[in-house]
Chains A and B, each alone.
Chain A
């Protein structure tokens, strides 16, 4: 199959799924030319509504995504899905099982589902989720859903990727909404109480309301709604999609959409700069790099001394400009 990234980008734009999929694959693999393909697509991206779905393992995220896709299709939207599952820290392999719950759309040509493994990324997304999202956006999908790995309290990268982030919780996960406290609570533009037929659902919704009241007043005037769903029975889904759409409208009218786009560009810039600058330092003096790594392994150098050995004492002690 074709591997010229520019040709792949062109064909992807014409709606050729295999070309889009191959480009995503090359981006994920760090292929040397793949970024040229991505850059060719950039002018055509920026139209899609990027929806993040996050929450603890077992909250029903994949089933919810499946039902949301169904409702969006009824509203005549073309839909892309990025579903992230964890890589094994031991083998580097992964079992990506989110498609099992998304079978309804398995032969719908207007739905594109791509599973991604985290490949060592810690924030709840895969390393190339930003790039993959851009490809689907440029391919003309009206909505791109990003389902994170099952998260705990601090895997909040999705908020930098998505325009609208839904935090999914369920009843029965312990007092004080253990599963969604701290960082996760702060990032929700809306909260979904899924499996709302289970006992305790009203209590979870009440606790969420109480905790949201303790939260600082939203800067752009959006009060995060709480939506109850039973994804398994497709209940509450049209209401949920209504909330997604009204948040999108709110982002546009408040100017937040632009702010989010800027933040996203900065994030991609910093990530890429960090990665490439580090690679450049190591490649400039490969012997020194190898020497430092083996000294690090033997314990002769600690990590701080190792960086100092490569960059010099001034760089190490320089204050950190941008995170």
Chain B
């Protein structure tokens, strides 16, 4: 009896306190059949990585609306490497200038969704990645 569900961690790092976007995304991913672990505000990179490990999520989603993405997100990627966690999709959403988006992707973020993105786009992106992964497994 197989019952596989995509598990997603959603977090906000540092002092960023804008929760509307991340709440909308959480609901949209739930409605797409995913299990969303929401950790709330003021997360540190260590907190995100420990939660991702304990919850064994497939996806780490970081919402950033405060402009501090370059301070925090590369540290999350570093911690993941330190803990030898290499099978998770890392996506970032929020107000991210193009040059930051490029740097984040170069550092290991898989996708960056900025202001123009529709909520459904993120669920679709995650689902397609998941299907590709499963196809490779089979």
* Chain A residues with a Cβ under 8 A of chain B: 1, 17-18, 21-22, 24-25, 28-31, 87-88, 90-97, 99-100, 103, 106-107, 112-115, 117, 119, 275, 279
Q: Is the CB of B54 within 8 A of A29?
A: no
Measured as residues with beta carbon below 8 angstroms from the partner, the interface class of chain B is 35 or more
Instruction: From the candidates B2, B38, B42, name the one contacting A99 in the complex (CB within 8 A).
Output: B38
Q: Is the CB of A17 within 8 A of B53?
A: yes
A29 to B56, CA, bound (A): 12
Q: Is the CB of A107 within 8 A of B1?
A: no
Q: Is the CB of B29 within 8 A of A93?
A: yes
Instruction: From the candidates A28, A88, A115, name the one contacting B3 in the complex (CB within 8 A).
Output: A28
Q: Is the CB of A30 within 8 A of B3?
A: yes
* Chain B residues with a Cβ under 8 A of chain A: 1-5, 7, 26-27, 29-40, 42-44, 46-47, 50-51, 53-56, 83, 85-87
With A1-B87, A21-B56, A100-B38 in contact, is A106–B1 under 8 Å at CB? Answer: no
Q: How many A-B residue pairs lie within 8 Å, measured between CB atoms?
A: 94
With both chains docked as a complex, state the minimum distance between the C-beta of B40 and any C-beta of chain A, in angstroms: 4
A30 to B37, CA, bound (A): 20
Q: Is the CB of B35 within 8 A of A96?
A: yes
A39 to B57, CA, bound (A): 24
A29 to B35, CA, bound (A): 13
Nearest B residue to A115, CB-CB: B37
With both chains docked as a complex, state the minimum distance between the C-beta of A85 and any C-beta of chain B, in angstroms: 9
Q: Is the CB of A91 within 8 A of B3?
A: no
With A100-B40, A107-B44, A117-B35 in contact, is A22–B56 under 8 Å at CB? Answer: yes
With A21-B55, A112-B54 in contact, is A91–B2 under 8 Å at CB? Answer: no
Contacts of B51 on A, CB cut-off 8 Å?
Answer: 99, 106, 113
Instruction: From the candidates A18, A24, A93, A275, name the one contacting B32 in the complex (CB within 8 A).
Output: A93
Nearest B residue to A24, CB-CB: B56
Nearest B residue to A99, CB-CB: B39
Q: Is the CB of A95 within 8 A of B40?
A: no
Instruction: From the candidates A91, A95, A107, A117, name the one contacting B50 in the complex (CB within 8 A).
Output: A107
A93 to B27, CA, bound (A): 9
Q: Is the CB of A93 within 8 A of B55?
A: no
A1 to B2, CA, bound (A): 19
Q: Is the CB of A91 within 8 A of B31?
A: yes
